[in-house]
A and B are shown apart, each in its own frame.
Chain A
Amino acid sequence: MLASNIRKIAGIQYMQDLSRTHGWPYLISWSHRISGVLLAIYVCFHIITLSTLQDPAVFTSKMLMFGSLFPTFFEWLLGIPVIYHCLNGGRLLLYELFANRRDQLVLGWVFVLSLSYIVLLGFFMAIGNQSVSAILFWVYLFVVSLFITFITIKKTRQSHASLAWKLQRISGAFLFVMIPAHMLYMHLDPSTGRDAQVIITRMSSSFIKLVDFLLVCSVLYHGAYGIFGISRDYLSSRRLQIISTFSIAILATLFAWIGVNLIFSVG
């Protein structure tokens, strides 16, 4: 009885029913969608927070607030949608573009690697004393991401799909490694992501500026196209479709401008 109530409250029963009627990949797709919307909202919040770097004193006071236990725990929890969305996005790329049909196997790996990442992230956040050269770290991961992006571009060339659709896959391939790496790097040491002077010094490098610029553009395009896709699924009225597309484009451009302006004005 207790076990049954726990299953009901935790939604496990509902998810089991859904997997029985629509299959596990359907449930995974819903989770991908929900995590994507959450991350799109978070990216906007993240850009606004980082924009206070223009005034290091304001940034430091904000970071003091985020450095307490509850926000740190929240940041760790954020790692769940981040890694899940990235790895499951990788699974979708493999399925759609690389003709992988051993999807159950890849799905298993998505969960195993997500769990490993979350544990690893929590471990680094707990010890918080790792020091890695920003240039070395990002050169290595940038090259890996460019390679993944290149093979994805090659695969999309034969598709008849629109450029916007292809760019969603290409930006996803670029972010596949970059985003989990970004999150991990920022938590190797509390100063890496929270000390205004450390961040400003790091951002004075042209290479880091390039990496950050590509990250902001890819994330905002990927998020905007994702939300656009969801709106197109549900909005039947042509008028509402135009309004939603226009709103999404304006918001993405606005946040891109804030982000790019910050990258090229700081450091």
Chain B
Amino acid sequence: MMESFYDITLNVHRYDPDTDKRWIDTYQVKAGRIMRFVDVLRKVNDEQDATLAWGSSCEHGQCGSCSMKINGKPLLSCELLVENAVHYFDTTTFTIEPLDVAPVIRDLVIDTDKAYGRVDKVKPYIIKPKPLGEKGEEHQISPEELERYVDATRCINCFCCASACISSHHNFLGPNAMLAAIVRVMDPREQEKQSRFDTLYSENGIYRCHSSQACSFVCPKEIDVAHFIALAKNGEIKPA
């Protein structure tokens, strides 16, 4: 039965860097059914606890800055409606934790510089572009070439996949970092492939992937991350 409001309970993991203390705070919130979790957290800030820290930017599922774990599932809190959450998890009690891919700065905010450090290692940009044509025209990617990897370019680096990965976060650069490297290997405009192969096939690269496919399951952009990593394992990521 569709409700107009839900009385939900939030168990939020808190962290105070000044005292290095961790604890869980519980908030009771009357939430509208189409409120998103970012709205719910804002309501907590407005009405109950202004000190609760969390991060967001675009709040339209494009920047990946509001990712967190809700009842254990890494997701974008701007995309999860209260009603969908109640039905999906079959409860009105939600445990909210920060992602575990980088140190926590405060409450639900993680050190994104540290998290992005892993993506930076694969150099997610064109290092050595293909030279311009004889008349100076830019290289064009054919639709057939683009079709092979266009899905992978939709990654927003929200780190949900990295958080869900079975491989822990000690040594693996992460599924999203692998995806960034794979995109550049498959990109026909990029000439520098070897250094990317070196990173992909390093001890922190695809050897740490065990095809648990949790990355594909949690990806808010519905990218089949495991598919692309499997292509890399099988050597099928060369440009067409």
Contact = CB atoms under 8 A, between A and B. Distances in A.
B196 to A, nearest CB: 10
Contacts of A23: 213-214, 216-218
A161 B217 contact: no
Contacts of B234: 96-97, 99, 155, 158-159
Contacts of A18: 72
Interface in A96-110: 96-97, 99, 101, 103
Given A29-B210, A96-B230, A96-B234, A234 B72 contact: no
A17 to B, nearest CB: 7
B171 interface: yes
A232 B203 contact: yes
B236 interface: yes
Interface residues of A, number: 33
Given A26-B164, A161-B207, A232-B203, A97 B217 contact: no
B114 interface: no
Interface string B100-129: 000000000000000000000000000000
B233 interface: yes
B166 A29 contact: yes
Contacts of A257: none
Interface string A230-266: 0011111000000000000000000000000000000
Contact of A159 (B73, B203, B214, B233): B233
Contacts of A28: 212
A29 B166 CA distance: 8
A20 B88 contact: yes
Contact of B201 (A20, A25, A161): A161
Interface in B199-240: 200-201, 203, 206-208, 210-214, 216-218, 224, 226-227, 230-231, 233-236
Contact of B230 (A29, A33, A95): A95
A140 to B, nearest CB: 30
Contacts of A20: 73, 88-89
B230 A229 contact: no
Contact of B211 (A29, A158, A165, A234): A29
A229 B207 contact: yes
B71 interface: yes
B27 interface: no
Contacts of B168: 233-234
Chain A binding surface SS class? helix
Contacts of A159: 233-235
A92 interface: yes
Contacts of A229: 207-208, 210
Contact of B166 (A26, A92, A165): A26
Contacts of A25: 211-214, 217
A171 to B, nearest CB: 16
Contacts of A158: 234-236
Interface in A5-32: 17-18, 20-23, 25-26, 28-30, 32
B204 to A, nearest CB: 9
B167 interface: yes
B210 A33 contact: yes
A42 B1 CA distance: 52
B201 A99 contact: no
A17 B168 CA distance: 19
Contacts of A161: 201, 206-207, 233, 235
A131 interface: no
A241 B236 CA distance: 30
A236 B170 contact: yes
B172 interface: yes
A226 B113 CA distance: 32
A203 B234 CA distance: 38
A37 B227 CA distance: 26
A232 B208 contact: yes
A162 interface: yes
B166 A99 contact: no
Given A23-B213, A160-B197, A235 B170 contact: yes
28 contacts: A17-B72, A20-B88, A20-B89, A21-B72, A21-B73, A21-B164, A22-B214, A23-B213, A23-B214, A23-B217, A23-B218, A26-B164, A26-B212, A26-B214, A28-B212, A29-B166, A29-B210, A30-B166, A96-B211, A96-B234, A99-B234, A101-B224, A158-B234, A159-B233, A159-B235, A160-B197, A229-B210, A235-B171
The 5 nearest A-B residue pairs measured at CB: A23-B217, A29-B212, A21-B73, A25-B213, A159-B235
Given A95-B230, A162-B207, 4 more contacts: A23-B217, A25-B214, A158-B236, A159-B235
